[in-house]
Structure 1
């Protein structure tokens, strides 16, 4: 095999990159999807639309009543109050009124029923007094009141959902309301995952004094599964250059993206770098963040590669900040960004100017109705229990030296992924 030309950018090699700069470089380097498929609508949950969904009908299809009440001709009333109308019949959803309606008449109408052609407003049932076949009310009624116009939600021929839309349950319902039975979506990403290190052992094996169970591969399985990726599990790879080259070649041939965890700290950078450069074009970066400073990113041939840190919390945090946006772009969500909110700190959070800190936090609405966030406690990059207890990351930017009790702070809720 011919060794790949090094992709190390001499202008940044060895430098400490900021989070935004690192993410920009990664997003510029990963491709948009180019393969799609038709799937039944009921199997399209969490897939991404590959083409716009154009409505073939008006939604609602007909002008109809938004409330239970009485349909009248408001435009001919001239504002005269009080008004008395004779009820000439009931009209239920699924029926049509094919008779003329005089200015002094009203049609009892149910929610969703098509508005009689002569009528232009609905008086809600609770606002009228009915005596036998007559109703009376003492307030003004505007044209269009309590009426849903045909096509006011979605007009025939308009774009109901844009390409790149993630299909959640509500989008599936919308497409079903338009009569869709199948949709064209981007194909699922195939992602290869492996762990590295002689100290890493599989569950079920004896745990020696100097060993640790493989944690990161399972976290990555879960994160990738939540994104709808197909995971190719390549297990644990020993600290051996030949084994590393072999697994990288296998991964690049089988997957759209490759992830490893461990082996990218400064202590092992030369060994990993040597193996990776035989297969691809890899850049090692030091990122001004905590946790998760070391990161390897590049390509194995045409396949993007992420070398994540070894500490469990660092793996999850770097995945959320760098891998998730890249994967979502490759899935077709090219403009996705993590959800961010501003909360009031109920704890002091450690930070340092010049780096971005991601502390694990627990956010809630307090008795005063304010969004607040407290620390989960110890924030070491190996304390996986902090991720279990947390429901958000507290994002402390590189211009902030500290966050004190009562300060405003940005949080990233876990609802997007965890």
Structure 2
């Protein structure tokens, strides 16, 4: 990605911008060992292989009675009782031919047994049990049926979900190799910004961007530093960027990258490093920028709250996930029917906040009413985003791509 000529009016297509950002992704972060207690949400740095088969031995899937299938008539019958095996039993019991043994879920199958009949299908009288007929192997979990020793189970580069943590624990793994989280300095630009809880003077607004973006970054596994609010002046912007560039892995700002006389961030970045990308063919969020401040990557988001949130989710997210070692970084869309008409084409790709509804023939997507780039209420009312491509019009019933927020928030 070469330094941009920001004097041109050309808008960068969204997919090209994402690809250009990924080409600039930093090397994989350092690897650290963390306790199994603390690994949820972290990115696995090495393939997890099975140290042993699962199950490690044949065991019962039910509370019931273990037997040899050959000893029980197909229509069922009586067998004498011999023995009892509970979960955790290590005695290695052997089943006598022609007998049944009481067994519990997870207990190792007695040597010689090959079938289990559930207790609901049994009737005990004294020292014998009547059992319904059962096929060979009924309710038996075979050794290694889930996986064998040495099988690769979890891939490097995946974020550990609760089920992944449970699997690692089932393997007896106490410490997990994960990538170090990306450390992000988050700054906001604008003299008008105040923190929630402060009194507002005329012309002032609360700083929504810091709170939405920091929540987003933490949801992606980043460590976030509050870099504060930048004054709308070039010298202050340069000084603040210089400080955080020396201490953090990535700088993210909101506001200050448009074309107004009080938007100084682009020039501050040029003075301290390079500006590589500015202005995308996206709505909302056109004034998105990327560059380097003294060698540290910088992502400049728009100032309008919805535009900042959307460009972070759609454009910045793949770069940030890749910088943390994630392999799956692009969200999956769902093709659905448009539940609306869109008669006017746009030279920018549009992301409409929308909900899914059931209609005749299947799912359809319907935009919410509040679509302004400053309006977060639209995102709060919506389940995801309808993608309307450049220069496209829509008729109700035509297919569109729907991007669920669930694909963008982790």
Aligned residues of 1:403 and 1:409 also touching (Cα < 8 A): no
Matched residue, 1:3: none
Pairing partner for 2:275 from 257, 273, 282: 282
- Distance, in Å, in 1 between the alignment partners of 2:93 and 2:226 is 68
Name whichever of 323-332 and 333-342 sits farther off. 333-342
1:313 offset after TM fit, Å? 0.3
1:415 equivalenced with 2:400 (yes/no): no
Pairing partner for 1:316 from 296, 299, 309: 309
Pairing partner for 1:33 from 5, 28, 39: 28
Q: How does 1:138-177 map to 2 (within 5 A)?
A: 138=133, 141-142=135-136, 144-177=137-170
Give TM-score scaled by structure 2 length: 0.88
Pairing partner for 2:184 from 188, 191, 194: 191
- Distance, in Å, in 1 between the alignment partners of 2:198 and 2:93 is 81
1:245 equivalenced with 2:234 (yes/no): no
1:18 equivalenced with 2:13 (yes/no): yes
- Distance, in Å, in 2 between the alignment partners of 1:350 and 1:226 is 37
Aligned residues of 1:55 and 1:160 also touching (Cα < 8 A): yes
- Deviation string for 1:21-65 (max 9, x for gaps)? 111111111124231222222122211112222332322222111
Matched residue, 1:111: 105
Aligned residues of 2:122 and 2:130 also touching (Cα < 8 A): yes
Aligned residues of 1:362 and 1:391 also touching (Cα < 8 A): yes
- Deviation string for 1:53-112 (max 9, x for gaps)? 2332322222111122332323x46x9633434332332212256454355332232211
Matched residue, 2:375: 383
Matched residue, 1:333: 326
Matched residue, 2:65: 70
SS of residue paired to 2:400: strand
- Distance, in Å, in 1 between the alignment partners of 2:6 and 2:288 is 17
Matched residue, 1:207: 200
- Distance, in Å, in 1 between the alignment partners of 2:228 and 2:104 is 61
Matched residue, 2:216: 223
Aligned residues of 2:6 and 2:278 also touching (Cα < 8 A): no
- Deviation string for 1:116-163 (max 9, x for gaps)? 22122223333456555132434x613x33221223223223333222
Matched residue, 1:401: 393
Structure 1 pair 21–158 and aligned structure 2 pair: CA distance change class (3 A): same
Structure 1 pair 270–208 and aligned structure 2 pair: CA distance change class (3 A): closer
Following superposition, which runs of at least 4 residues in structure 1 exceed 6 angstroms of deviation? none
Matched residue, 1:54: 49
Name whichever of 83-92 and 387-396 sits farther off. 83-92
Give TM-score scaled by structure 1 length: 0.87
Name whichever of 391-400 and 301-310 sits farther off. 391-400
- Deviation string for 1:304-342 (max 9, x for gaps)? 111101110000100001111111111111332224333
Aligned residues of 1:191 and 1:255 also touching (Cα < 8 A): yes
- Deviation string for 1:209-229 (max 9, x for gaps)? 433332211211111122222
Aligned residues of 1:349 and 1:375 also touching (Cα < 8 A): no
Aligned residues of 1:94 and 1:113 also touching (Cα < 8 A): yes
Structure 1 residue runs without a partner (length 5+)? 1-5
Name whichever of 296-305 and 352-361 sits farther off. 352-361
Name whichever of 322-331 and 155-164 sits farther off. 155-164
Aligned residues of 1:343 and 1:410 also touching (Cα < 8 A): yes
Aligned residues of 1:297 and 1:305 also touching (Cα < 8 A): yes
Aligned residues of 1:32 and 1:334 also touching (Cα < 8 A): no
- Distance, in Å, in 2 between the alignment partners of 1:203 and 1:100 is 70
Matched residue, 1:89: 83
Aligned length: 407
Structure 1 pair 80–55 and aligned structure 2 pair: CA distance change class (3 A): same
- Distance, in Å, in 2 between the alignment partners of 1:377 and 1:103 is 74
Structure 1 pair 72–246 and aligned structure 2 pair: CA distance change class (3 A): same
Name whichever of 107-116 and 94-103 sits farther off. 94-103
Aligned residues of 1:186 and 1:332 also touching (Cα < 8 A): yes
Name whichever of 330-339 and 394-403 sits farther off. 394-403
